[in-house]
Amino acid sequence: MAAAGPPPPPGGTPGPLDSIRCSFCGKRGTEVDRIIAGPTPAVAICNECVDLCSEMMAEERGADEPPDPAA
């Protein structure tokens, strides 16, 4: 797993997070707060996509639940 750190200084040498991109949105590791790499750097997901997926799953779960009779 790789976690994003602070961006490199202007004009600095690109670090390993510059080469890791989120497989979902394409943002570089330096453009997000965190990025989690899979078995290879070609497979990764950023914190923003994890949040979006989590929201989508919560909405889907809510749609599957029966209406609350007490409401």
Would you mind telling me the total number of residues written for the chain in this entry? Answer: 71
CA quadruple 25, 23, 12, 8: dihedral sign: positive
Does the pLDDT value for residue 2 go beyond 80?
Answer: no
The residue-averaged pLDDT of 57-71 equals: 76
pLDDT band at 62 (very low <50, low <70, confident <90, very high): confident
pLDDT tens track for 3-43: 555 444 444 455 677 789 999 999 999 999 999 999 886 89
Q: What is the pLDDT of residue 17?
A: 77
Which pTM value belongs to this model?
Answer: 0.64
Helices assigned H by DSSP within the chain: 16-19, 47-64
